[in-house]
Amino acid sequence: MNRIDRYLMRRFMFSLLWSLIAFWAMFLVVHLVEHLDKFIDKGASAEYVALYYFYYSPFILILVTPVAVLLATLFSVGFLSRRNELLAMRAAGVSLLRIAMPLLFLGLVVTAVVMGAGETIYPRMEQRRAELTEQFLSGGSRPSQIIFQSLFSPGMNGRVFYFKSFNAGQQVGTGVTVQTFKEGRMTELLEMRNLRYKDSVWVGESGQRRLFETTSDSATHYEAFDRMAFRDWRETPADFVRKWVNPERTGYFELKAAIERMRATGGDPTFQETELALKLAYPFLNFLVVLIGFPIAARTKHSGTALSFGIAMMITFAMRVVIEVFRSFGHNGDIPAWVAAWAPDIVCFVAGTLVLLRARK
């Protein structure tokens, strides 16, 4: 890394910081105006509103990072072009591709940061924001404080759970029925008075167990028990009380586990599989927008702030259209999930490479 690289990276990071702050503030103000009536109706304090948007900030920043990176690329490279610094570098024998290297590297760094935040900080903050909304705006209680009645929940490995009542705080269910299915037929039936989660193990009390062959509806084995531990069950109480998983607001591994549970119970996870693939494909847009934006800014003479902002908005709009089109195809199962997620990235990569190669000529 030489002095020019450090200079380019400083200019890019300065522009990126201000772009993120600007888009975060714009998003926050628009969202606040749209929901201000709800806050006022519920008598929300300034402290609550500040805490709500503190928890909401990771979602906003991850959402606007690609357009902020694109704008930072256009601003930083456009600044060099207006001051003829880019011309001086090329006159000294430095190719346009070599000049772009530090910015492309930063694009990969931002991609890694977004991936890491999307798996660690983001899900936790979204969970806390959901709890805050449930407690205050919806007037509800935390899931751990609720006693659920007639709770039905799919489990793993073909298990389906039914609780007449389930105390999430004490982690115990009463009037429990657990059915296990394989190839569309029931292979095991458990009926218990109580099912308790203790020391990470489910323990059934006062129950009976029946086993069935897949080729017959008659029970081939029956046993009654006072106490039975199910050490191979990997379900947790949180799996039973968790609401429908919003794929856009969960981490990669949490969503992957939800898909596996859905598959094990015969569900169709096509929608969730597309969103899972997008969790890897979407962050890479932070690298690809640098690939697209750099040659455009380098070729645009006398590019000012307004022009750079306009170009960024047009590119962002086009990218969003492509993403949503392929996303809808993936949700409907018209194309494989990985194609729906990565096709926009491939389109951006090809477009950026062609523009960059053409600019070098």
Distance CA 208, CA 217 (A): 17
What confidence score (pLDDT) does residue 75 get?
Answer: 87
pLDDT digits 0-9 by tens, 157-168? 888 888 888 887
Band of the pLDDT at 307, cuts 50, 70, 90?
confident
pLDDT digits 0-9 by tens, 213-251? 766 666 678 889 999 999 999 888 877 766 555 676 678
pLDDT digits 0-9 by tens, 117-151? 988 888 888 878 877 876 665 554 455 556 777 77
In the predicted model, is pLDDT for residue 361 greater than 50? Answer: no
In the predicted model, is pLDDT for residue 324 greater than 80? Answer: yes
Band of the pLDDT at 82, cuts 50, 70, 90?
confident
Question: The pTM is what?
Answer: 0.71
What confidence score (pLDDT) does residue 222 get?
Answer: 85
pLDDT digits 0-9 by tens, 331-348? 888 899 999 999 999 998
pLDDT digits 0-9 by tens, 281-291? 999 999 999 98
What confidence score (pLDDT) does residue 85 get?
Answer: 81
